[in-house]
Structure 1
Amino acid sequence: MKTIQTDVAVIGAGTAGLAAYRAAIAAGKRAVIIEGGAYGTTCARVGCMPSKLLIAAAEAAHEARHTAAFGVHVDGPVRIDGREVMARVRSERDRFVGFVVRGVENIPESDRLLGHAQFIDNTILQVGADTTVRASRVVIATGSRPAVPKAFDVFGDRLIINDDVFAWEDLPRSVAVFGPGVIGLELGQALSRLGVRVRVFGVSGSVGPLSDPAIRAYATQAFNREFSLLPDVRVSDMRREGDEAVITFEDADGTVVTERFAYVLAATGRRPNVDKLALENTALALDARGVPVFDPVTLQCGDAPVFIAGDANDVLPLLHEAADEGRVAGENAASWPQVRPLARRAPLAVVFSDPQIAMVGQRFADLTPGSFVTGEVSFEDQGRSRVMLKNRGLMHVYADRATGRFLGAEWMGPRAENIAHLLAWAYQQGLTIAQMLAMPFYHPVVEEGLRTALRDADARLTQLKQAA
C-alpha cells in the first residue's frame, strides 16, 4: 500500500478537474489529479465536438438538397455514405481527444493517479487497490453521465445514449429519440438530415431550454417541418421484438400509432457522477441526488475543506462554466479556509439546431409578470436572412419597465450563436435598450433583426413613459 501526502487532491481529469489542478498548482500548492477512466473531457469525447461534427455533415447534406431555389441545380439525388460520415466523426473526434490527452500527459507523472477514488473520510481517499491519498483539501470534479429511466431497459441493446452514437460505424435506418432537450434536438435533426427516420418524443412540452411559450411553439412547428417532434406525447407501450424497438403512442392528432425503430436514443438528462465516491464515509450532508450540499457561490461543501465543480454539481453543465468553476474551486481549495466567491458570467445557452436556439440572461419563466416589456422580431422577412433563404425564426428580448435595462432574450433564428454573444456581453455590462441601440449595426446583416426587436422593446418602454 502506497501513501501520498498532498495539499489538494482533485478527483476527475475533465474540464473542471484540470482547471482546479492548474489553479492549485499556480497558487503554490502540491496537488494530485485522480482519474478513474480514460483521459479526455466529456466535451471532446462524447459531447460538444463529436456532435458538431455530425451536425456539420447533416448541414452539408441539407444544403446540397436545397440549392434549386437559388437557380443552382445539382443533377441527381444527394447520396449519403453513412460509413464515410461516421469515419470522419470518429477520426476528428479522436483528434480533439488527443489534444486533451496530450495536455493531461504534460502534467508531471507524479501528480497523475489512475484509479477510482473513494472517500475514507473528508480528506483521505482510497485510489484503486494500492494507494491512499492524504490531502488537506479535496475538489470533486467527477462530471456526469446520461440518466436513463428504468422503463427503457425493455429495449436491451437497442437502447443507446449519445456516447454510443459517436462509436457507430454506419448510420442506422431509424431512431426514436426520447428527450427534446439540447442533445435530443441536435442529434435528432442531424440524423434526420442524414437520411435516418427519426421521431423525437417528449413528456412535458419542453423544447430545448426554451421557457417562453411563443418561442417554444414556433420552434415546435419549425422542427416538425423536417421530422416528427412530439413534445408532450402519451406512450402506451414499449417493447423489443427481435432487433427492433417497438413503441405505441398517440400521434399529434390523437391517433394511436405503433412504430418500429432500429434504436432508441435516451436523451433524458444527466446525473452527477458521485454515487461511487463512498461519500457516506464523510461528514458531508448530501441532497436527494446524493450530491454534497454546497455553496453555489464558493463551491464549498458545508464547512469542510471539500469543493465541488463542473457537471458534478449540476448548476450549469456547460464547458465554459465548468472551467470557471474548476478554477475557483482550485483557488479556494488552495487558500482554504479563506475562500472567495465565483463571479459568474452572463447566462448563455445555444442549441446548434437549424435554425439555432439561444437564451441569454434571465429566462422568460424567471421574470416577474408586469415588470418587463417584450420586444419581438420575426426573421421570416428579415433582409439578410431572406437573401440566404435562412428566414425562419422568432426572437423575444426582455427589458425592465422601470430602468430600460436589458434583462434577457429567448429565440430561434439564423446565426443565433453569434448574436447570443453580443447579447451576453450587453447583459454582463448591464446595458439598457437605449444604449444597445446606440451601438453600430451594419447593413445588410442578420443582426439587423436584433435591432428590430430592440426598437420594438424601446417603443413599448416609451409608450409606458408617456402613459405614466
Structure 2
Amino acid sequence: MKTVHIDVAVIGAGTAGLAAYRAAKAGGASALIIEGGAHGTTCARVGCMPSKLLIAAAEAAHHAGHTDMFGVHVDGDIRVDGREVMARVRSERDRFVGFVVRGVDGIPAKDKLAGYARFVDNTTLQVDNHTIVQARRVVIATGSSPSLPAPFTAFGDRLIVNDDVFDWETLPESVAVFGPGVIGLELGQALSRLGVRVRVFGVGGGVGPLSDPAVRAYAREALSAQFYLDPDAKVLEMGVVDGRARIRFVALDGEETTDNFDYVLAATGRTPNVRGLGLENTSLKLDARGVPLFDARTMQCGDSPVFIAGDANNILPLLHEAADEGRTAGANAAVYPDVGAGLRRSTIAVVFSDPQMMMVGSRFADLADGEFVIGAVSFEDQGRSRVMGVNSGLLHVYADKASGRFLGAEMIGPRAENLAHLLAWSHQQQLTVERMLDMPFYHPVIEEGLRTALRDAAAKLEQK
C-alpha cells in the first residue's frame, strides 16, 4: 500500500468536488480528487439534464395535441414512439456526461485517485486497499443517493428510482409514483404526457416544494386535472402479483381500489452519501443522519480541518448551490485555519412541471405571522398568458410590513423559471416593493403579472 502526502484531499468528483478541487488549487494548495464511482455529476447523469430531456419530449407531445384553441387542427393521432423518446434521452444525457468527463480528464493524473475513501482519522484516508492519503485538510463532496423506505421492498424488482428511468430503452405502459416532490411531479407528469398511465401518491398533502397553503392548493387542483395525483394517499397494501406491482389504496372518490403497474418509482427524497466513510474514526460531531455538523457559511465541520459541500450536507441539493459550496470549501481548505464565509446567494428553486413552480427567498412557512403582507395575482385573466393559452397559475409575493422589503415568493404558473430569476435578483439586492415597481415592464408580457402582484403588495403596505 502506497502513501500520498497532499494539502487538500477532496472525496468525490461531482459538481461540489470539482469546484472544491479547483478552488483549492487556485488558493495555492496541492490537491487530490478521489472518486470511486463513474465520473459525471448527478445533474448530468441522473438529475436535471436527463429529466429535462424527458420533459421536452412530453411537452412536444402535449403541445401537438392541444392546438385546437388556436384554430390549428392536427389531423390524425399523435404517436409517441417510446424507443425514439428514450434513445434521444440517453444519447443527449451521455453527451452532457461527456462534457463533465472531459473536464475530469483534463485534471493532471497526479491529482486524481480512483477508489473509495474511508477516514482513518481526521486527515488520513485509506483508499480501497491500495493507497493511504495523508492530507492536511479534507473536503467531503460525496453527493447523495435516492432514499428507499423499507416498506417499498415489497415491490421487489418492480421498484425503481429516478436513476433507472433514464436507462430505459422504451416507455412502460404504467408507473406508480410515490412522492409528489420535485422529482416525482416532473417525471410523473412527463410520463403521463408521453402516454404512460401514471398515478402519483403522496403523504401529508405536500405538492412540490410549496409551503404557501393557497399556492399549494392551486397546484394540487391544476395538476390533478392532468394526471392522477393524491398528495395525501391512503395506501392499504403493496406487493407483486404475477410479475407486476400491485397497490391497494383508497382512491380520490373514497372507494377502495386495486391497481397493477409495470413499475413503482420511489421519488421519496435523497440521502447524503456518508455511510461507509468511516466518520466514526474522526473527531467530528454527527447529526442524526450521520452527517457532520458544519457551518453553512464556511462549510467547515466544527473547528476541524474537514469541510463538507454539495448534496452530501443536504442543505440545498441544487447544482448551483453545490458549485458555490464546493468553491467555499476548497478555498477555505487551502487557507485553513484562516477560513471565511463564502458566497451565499438568495435561494431560488424551480420545478419544471406544467404549470411550473418556483420559490425565491424566504418561503411562506419561514415567515413570522403578522409581520408581512402578501401580494397576489392570478394568471387566469393575465393578458399574455391568455394569448398563449397558458392562463393557469397563482403568484404570491411577500413583503416586510416594517420596511417594505421584498422577502420572497411562491408560485405556480407560466414561465415561473423566468420570473424566479427576476425575483431572486431583487431579493439578493434587498429591494423594496416600491423600488421593484420602479423597474421597467414591457407590454404585453407575462412579467406584467408580477407587477400586478407587487402593486397588490404595495397597496397592502400602505394600509398597514
TM-score (norm: length of structure 2): 0.99
Is the counterpart of residue 65 in structure 1 residue 40 in structure 2? Answer: no
- Counterpart in 2 of 1:184? 184
Q: Which letter maps to 2:182?
A: V
Q: How does 1:308-319 map to 2 (within 5 A)?
A: 308-319=308-319
- Counterpart in 2 of 1:198? 198
- Counterpart in 2 of 1:86? 86
Is the counterpart of residue 379 in structure 1 residue 379 in structure 2? Answer: yes
- Counterpart in 1 of 2:429? 429
- How many Å apart are 1:73 and its aligned residue? 0.9
- How many Å apart are 1:414 and its aligned residue? 0.4
Is the counterpart of residue 305 in structure 1 residue 310 in structure 2? Answer: no
- Counterpart in 1 of 2:215? 215
- Aligned partners of 1:151 and 1:279: how far apart in 2? 28
- Counterpart in 1 of 2:288? 288
- Counterpart in 1 of 2:138? 138
- How many Å apart are 1:68 and its aligned residue? 1.0
- How many Å apart are 1:243 and its aligned residue? 1.8
> 2:16–2:310: 8 Å Cα contact kept in structure 1?
yes
- How many Å apart are 1:413 and its aligned residue? 0.6
- Counterpart in 2 of 1:129? 129
- Aligned partners of 1:254 and 1:336: how far apart in 2? 60
- Counterpart in 1 of 2:11? 11
- Aligned partners of 1:294 and 1:428: how far apart in 2? 24
- Aligned partners of 1:173 and 1:395: how far apart in 2? 35
Q: Which letter maps to 2:198?
A: V
Count residues in correspondence: 464
- Counterpart in 1 of 2:396? 396
- Aligned partners of 1:204 and 1:296: how far apart in 2? 29
Q: Secondary structure of the equivalent of 1:3? A: strand
After superposition, what is the alpha-carbon deviation per residue over 1:353-395, rounded to whole angstroms, capped at 9, x for unaligned? 0010000010001111110111110001100000000100001
- Aligned partners of 1:92 and 1:296: how far apart in 2? 34
- Aligned partners of 1:153 and 1:251: how far apart in 2? 23
Q: Which letter maps to 1:188?
A: G
- Aligned partners of 1:373 and 1:253: how far apart in 2? 36
- How many Å apart are 1:330 and its aligned residue? 0.2
Q: Secondary structure of the equivalent of 2:408? A: strand
Q: Secondary structure of the equivalent of 2:368? A: coil
- Aligned partners of 1:332 and 1:62: how far apart in 2? 48
- Aligned partners of 2:277 and 2:148: how far apart in 1? 20
- Counterpart in 2 of 1:238? 238
Segments of structure 1 that go 5 or more residues without pairing to the other structure are: none
- How many Å apart are 1:342 and its aligned residue? 2.4
> 2:328–2:343: 8 Å Cα contact kept in structure 1?
no
Q: Secondary structure of the equivalent of 2:5? A: strand
- Counterpart in 1 of 2:326? 326
- Counterpart in 1 of 2:357? 357
Q: Secondary structure of the equivalent of 2:220? A: helix
- How many Å apart are 1:89 and its aligned residue? 0.1
Q: Which letter maps to 2:302?
A: G
- Aligned partners of 2:286 and 2:177: how far apart in 1? 32
Q: Which letter maps to 2:201?
A: F
- Aligned partners of 1:38 and 1:275: how far apart in 2? 18
Q: Secondary structure of the equivalent of 1:120? A: strand
Segments of structure 2 that go 5 or more residues without pairing to the other structure are: none
> 2:360–2:409: 8 Å Cα contact kept in structure 1?
yes
> 2:380–2:386: 8 Å Cα contact kept in structure 1?
yes
- How many Å apart are 1:253 and its aligned residue? 2.5
After superposition, what is the alpha-carbon deviation per residue over 1:86-106, rounded to whole angstroms, capped at 9, x for unaligned? 000000000000000000010
Greater alpha carbon shift after TM alignment, 269-278 vs 280-289: 280-289
Q: Which letter maps to 1:147?
A: S
- Aligned partners of 2:285 and 2:424: how far apart in 1? 35
Greater alpha carbon shift after TM alignment, 236-245 vs 158-167: 236-245
- Counterpart in 2 of 1:410? 410
- Counterpart in 1 of 2:36? 36
Q: Which letter maps to 2:203?
A: V
Please provide the CA RMSD for this pair. 0.6
After superposition, what is the alpha-carbon deviation per residue over 1:200-253, rounded to whole angstroms, capped at 9, x for unaligned? 100111000000000000000001111011000111100101221100111123
Q: Secondary structure of the equivalent of 1:5? A: strand
- Aligned partners of 1:369 and 1:280: how far apart in 2? 42
> 2:356–2:415: 8 Å Cα contact kept in structure 1?
yes
- How many Å apart are 1:128 and its aligned residue? 1.6
- Among the aligned pairs, what percent are the same residue? 72
- Aligned partners of 1:292 and 1:456: how far apart in 2? 44
Q: Which letter maps to 1:333?
A: A
After superposition, what is the alpha-carbon deviation per residue over 1:276-334, rounded to whole angstroms, capped at 9, x for unaligned? 10111111111110111111121111111000000000011100000000000001100
Q: Which letter maps to 2:407?
A: L
Is the counterpart of residue 95 in structure 1 residue 95 in structure 2? Answer: yes
Q: Which letter maps to 1:108?
A: P
Q: Secondary structure of the equivalent of 1:274? A: coil
Q: Which letter maps to 2:324?
A: D
After superposition, what is the alpha-carbon deviation per residue over 1:333-364, rounded to whole angstroms, capped at 9, x for unaligned? 00000100123100100000001000001000
After superposition, what is the alpha-carbon deviation per residue over 1:48-106, rounded to whole angstroms, capped at 9, x for unaligned? 00000000000000000001111111110100000000000000000000000000010
> 2:10–2:33: 8 Å Cα contact kept in structure 1?
yes
Q: Which letter maps to 2:346?
A: A
- Aligned partners of 1:462 and 1:284: how far apart in 2? 51
- How many Å apart are 1:461 and its aligned residue? 1.0
